[in-house]
C-alpha cells in the first residue's frame, strides 16, 4: 500500500506551456499564416485609437503561463506601431504571460544606430531599451540594417536572414542563370557576398557617395558586369534612389538586365514612380512590411517569410537551435 502524505493535496499534472501568436495592426498579414503553419489558433488583440491619438490595447485570450509571441513590424507610421507594440507587451506582461517574444520583422529606427554628429539621439538604442523595459523577454528580427543593433538589447535576440527564402524563389523561377551579384554600396558587401555564395556567382560592387540623406551618386563599378544578368541585393528599399541609380549605371556599363532583391519594402515618397521609370526588370521583396495594394506594381514580386518565422518560433518554444536553420 502506498505511503500516505498527510497535509498534501493531490496536484494535477503540470500543463505544458501553451504557445499563442498575436498580430499587431502592422503584423496581421503575417500572424494568421504563422499560426496556421504552427497548427495553432491565432490570438486576438483589440486595438482602438481614441480621438486625441491615444492607443488602447486589450488581449482577448487567456495568456497566463503562456509563451506569447506578438508580430509587429515598426514600419510606417513608425511611432504609432512602436507605441502599440509597447502597449501589447505591457498588456501581456500584466496578464501573466510566462514569456513574451517580440517578432519585429522590420525594425524601425535601425538606420539611427550611431552618432555621426554631435548632439543627436541614438534612436535604435532607445527603441531597443523601451521594448526591453516594457517586458519583452526575447526579440526575433530580420535583416537588421546594422547587425550591431543586436547588442543594443539586454535580452536574447534571434537575427534572421531572408537569404534562403529569396534565393529559393530565384532558383524556382529560373532566374539564377548567368548571374552576377551586385552590392549597391560598400557597406552591403558582406550581405551581397553571402548571396553570391548561395547562388555560386561572382560579386561586383557599386562605389557611390551620399551628398545628403536619401540621395546617392554612383562613382564607379568594381567588377565585370558586361553582358551579365545583375542581381542587386539590399536590406531595404526606401525612396529607391540607390537601386534605381545603380540599375541605370549597370545598364550604361553593359549589363544585360538588372533585378533587385530587398528584404524590406519601405517604399517611401517617390519610390514607386522611380521604380516604374527605372530599367529594373523585377524587384523581389519579402512581406516583412505590409505593402499597400496601390504600391504593388507589376515589377514587384513578394515572397512570404511566414514559414521562416513559424519555424523560428517553433524552435524557440521547443528549446531547439535557431542557427541550424541557416547552416
- For the stretch 84-137, pLDDT in tens is 999 999 999 999 999 999 999 999 999 999 998 899 999 999 999 999 999 999
List the catalytic residue out of 208, 228, 295, 299: 208
Per-domain residue ranges for the chain? Answer: 19-113+122-161+307-326, 163-303
For the stretch 16-19, contacts whose Cβ atoms lie closer than 8 Å and that sit 24 or more positions apart, written own/partner, are 17/65, 17/66, 17/67, 17/98, 17/99, 17/317, 18/65, 18/66, 18/67, 19/66, 19/67, 19/69, 19/313, 19/317
Helices (H), the chain: 28-38, 78-94, 123-134, 163-172, 189-199, 241-252, 271-277, 306-317
Residue 207: all three cell numbers together? 562605389
**pLDDT of 8 over the 60 cut:** no
User: What is d(CA 73, CA 58) in angstroms, rounded to the nearest whole number?
Assistant: 19
Closest C-alpha among 93, 80, 73 to residue 137:
93
Residue 63: all three cell numbers together? 495568456
pTM score, two decimals? Answer: 0.91
| β-pair type (157-160, 138-142) | parallel
Q: Which residues pair with 206 in a beta bridge?
A: 221
Mean pLDDT computed over every residue of the chain: 92
| Average pLDDT for 197-224 | 80
| Average pLDDT for 16-31 | 95
pLDDT above 90 coverage of the chain, percent: 82
Q: Is 208 assigned a catalytic role?
A: yes
In CATH terms, the fold of domain 163-303 is Rossmann fold (3.40.50)
Can you give the pLDDT at residue 326? 84
User: What is d(CA 34, CA 306) in angstroms, rounded to the nearest whole number?
Assistant: 5
Can you give the pLDDT at residue 159? 97
Task: Please give the biggest Cα pair distance in the chain.
Answer: 90
Domain 19-113+122-161+307-326 has CATH 3.40.50.2020: yes
Can you give the pLDDT at residue 9? 60
Amino acid at each position: 500500500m502506498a505511503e500516505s502524505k498527510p497535509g498534501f493535496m493531490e496536484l494535477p499534472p503540470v500543463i505544458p506551456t501553451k504557445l499563442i501568436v498575436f498580430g499587431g495592426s502592422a503584423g496581421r498579414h503575417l500572424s494568421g499564416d504563422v499560426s496556421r503553419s504552427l497548427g495553432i489558433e491565432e490570438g486576438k488583440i483589440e486595438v482602438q485609437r481614441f480621438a486625441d491619438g491615444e492607443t488602447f490595447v486589450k488581449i482577448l485570450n487567456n495568456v497566463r503561463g503562456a509563451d506569447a509571441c506578438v508580430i509587429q513590424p515598426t514600419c510606417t507610421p513608425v511611432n504609432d506601431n512602436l507605441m502599440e507594440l509597447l502597449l501589447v507587451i505591457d498588456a501581456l506582461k500584466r496578464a501573466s504571460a510566462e514569456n513574451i517574444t517580440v517578432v519585429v520583422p522590420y525594425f524601425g529606427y535601425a538606420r539611427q544606430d550611431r552618432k555621426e554628429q554631435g548632439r543627436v539621439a541614438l534612436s535604435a538604442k532607445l527603441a531597443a531599451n523601451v521594448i526591453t523595459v516594457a517586458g519583452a523577454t526575447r526579440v526575433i528580427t530580420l535583416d537588421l540594417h546594422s547587425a550591431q543593433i543586436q547588442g543594443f538589447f539586454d535580452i536574447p535576440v534571434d537575427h534572421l536572414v531572408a537569404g534562403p527564402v529569396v534565393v529559393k524563389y530565384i532558383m524556382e523561377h529560373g532566374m539564377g542563370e548567368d548571374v552576377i551579384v551586385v552590392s549597391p554600396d560598400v557597406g552591403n558587401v558582406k550581405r551581397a557576398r553571402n548571396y553570391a555564395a548561395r547562388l555560386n556567382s561572382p560579386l561586383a560592387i557599386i562605389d557611390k557617395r551620399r551628398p545628403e540623406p536619401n540621395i546617392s551618386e554612383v562613382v564607379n563599378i568594381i567588377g565585370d558586369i558586361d553582358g551579365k544578368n545583375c542581381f542587386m541585393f539590399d536590406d531595404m528599399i526606401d525612396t529607391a534612389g540607390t537601386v534605381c541609380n545603380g540599375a541605370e549605371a549597370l545598364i550604361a556599363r553593359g549589363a544585360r538586365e538588372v533585378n533587385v532583391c530587398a528584404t524590406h519594402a519601405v517604399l517611401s515618397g517617390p519610390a514607386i514612380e522611380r521604380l516604374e521609370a527605372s530599367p529594373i526588370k523585377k524587384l523581389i521583396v519579402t512581406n516583412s512590411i505590409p505593402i499597400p495594394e496601390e504600391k504593388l506594381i507589376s515589377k514587384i514580386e513578394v515572397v512570404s517569410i511566414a514559414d521562416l518565422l513559424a519555424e523560428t518560433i517553433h524552435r524557440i518554444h521547443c528549446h531547439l537551435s535557431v542557427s541550424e536553420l541557416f547552416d
